[in-house]
């Protein structure tokens, strides 16, 4: 696994923005601290930002943790593609399974979020990830995500 010896991310937010289509404030993850072909570890404090684009009615519901997990999976796919010498195929979240939230609101958590995405099955854009979000070792949310490639414009379904 690619690791750092300190809390300094291996990959920062600027590099993350090169890997995923999420722009500006929608790029929720701030760093990758470790990754390999199977798993990625990310960190962020964007859940505490009052300008977080996922906030609704002055709060950030825990269900938004699944977007953080989806972005970790997207970053992982981009890193895997780059390491293999190909370009990642854009994908979309097709299914969310076994989703569990252990808190009510993300913005009430004072510690950084730790987001892990583990590739369970698949390659390129057809894949299933197990994601977990925690803070200071306490679980926040977990689920399985199914990701499919975005349909080619004009292609028959």
pLDDT in tens, 80-137: 999 999 888 888 899 999 999 999 999 999 999 999 999 999 877 789 999 999 999 9
Q: Is the dihedral of CA 100, 111, 68, 89 positive or negative?
A: negative
d(CA 146, CA 79): 18
Q: Check residue 4 and give its pLDDT.
A: 44
Phi, psi of 87 (to 5 degrees): -95, 135
| Range from 7-11, 61-65, 114-118, 127-131 carrying the lowest mean pLDDT | 7-11
d(CA 10, CA 96): 28
- Cβ atoms of 16 and 75 within 8 Å: the answer is yes
Residue 72's pLDDT band (cuts 50, 70, 90):
very high
Does the pLDDT at position 63 exceed 60?
yes
Residue 14's pLDDT band (cuts 50, 70, 90):
confident
Q: H-type helices in 90-150, by residue range? A: none
d(CA 33, CA 86): 23
Q: Which of 10, 34, 9, 14 is nearest to 24 (CA)?
A: 14
Q: For the domain bounded by 2-149, which CATH number is listed?
A: 3.10.129.10
Chain mean position to CA 59:
20
């Amino acid at each position: 696994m690619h690791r750092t010896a300190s809390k300094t991310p291996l990959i920062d937010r600027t590099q993350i923005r090169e890997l995923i289509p999420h722009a500006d404030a929608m790029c929720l993850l701030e760093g990758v601290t470790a990754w390999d072909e199977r798993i990625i570890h990310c960190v962020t404090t964007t859940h505490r930002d009052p300008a977080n684009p996922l906030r609704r009615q002055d709060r950030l519901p825990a269900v938004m943790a699944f977007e953080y997990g989806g972005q970790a999976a997207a970053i992982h796919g981009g890193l895997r593609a780059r390491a293999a010498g190909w370009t990642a195929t854009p994908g979309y979240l097709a299914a969310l399974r076994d989703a569990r939230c252990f808190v009510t609101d993300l913005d009430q958590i004072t510690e950084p979020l730790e987001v892990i995405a583990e590739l369970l099955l698949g390659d390129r854009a057809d894949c299933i990830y197990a994601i977990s979000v925690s803070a200071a070792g306490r679980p926040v949310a977990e689920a399985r995500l199914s990701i499919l490639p975005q349909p080619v414009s004009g292609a028959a379904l």
